[in-house]
Amino acid sequence: MMGRGFTRGCPICGQRRIFKIIAMLDDCPRCGFHFERIEGHWVGAVGINTIVTFATMGVFAAGGLIATYPDFAVVPLMVIGVAIATFLPILFHPSSRMVWTAIDLAMRPVQPDELQQKRTTEHD
């Protein structure tokens, strides 16, 4: 499920056509799973995105300082660090949502009625 999440796929069935750039469908077109399981569900995705961004910046900063020791290239490192902090959260946004949904599913397994919501809403 985590692997499917990192590749922007539905954690349940692996369907990849969930995102148009960063806009996301509410339900999986293949299995009908409604991604926003509870109100506030996406707060976890923001947390995942923040963790990944800060971890990447930390690894980059440490690696950059080690690579340029003893004459630290402060300005280039800061410019690249700001670029990471600006663009990584946008690029990782879809994956963070699916990774968080996979984690949520590991903690609270999917219930049969969650997969049938699409069919019931279509008939109503």
DSSP state of 34: B
Q: To the nearest whole angstrom, how small is the minimum distance from the Cβ of residue 5 to Zn ion?
A: 12
CB-nearer residue toward Zn ion: 12 or 103: 12
How many CB atoms within 10 Å of residue 49?
Answer: 22
Site for Zn ion contains 10 (CB under 5 A): yes
C-alpha to C-alpha distance for 33 and 116, rounded to whole angstroms: 7
Contacts of residue 17, defined as CB under 8 A and 6 or more positions apart, other chains included, come to 29
Smaller CB distance to Zn ion: residue 53 or 95? 95
Window 20 to 39, contacts with Zn ion (CB under 5 A): 28, 30-31, 33
User: Minimum CB separation from Zn ion for residue 7, in Å?
Assistant: 13
Q: Which is nearer to Zn ion, 25 or 31 (CB)?
A: 31
**Angle (nearest 5°) at CA 4 between 38 and 46:** 45
Letters for 33-72 (x = contact with Zn ion by CB under 5 A, - = none) are x---------------------------------------
Sequence-distant (≥ 6) Cβ neighbours of residue 118 within 8 angstroms: 27, 28, 32, 34
CB of residue 89 to Zn ion, shortest distance in Å: 25
Exposure of 37 by Cβ count < 10 A (0-12 exposed, 13-18 middle, 19+ buried)? middle
List of residues contacting Zn ion (CB under 5 A): 10, 12-13, 15, 28, 30-31, 33
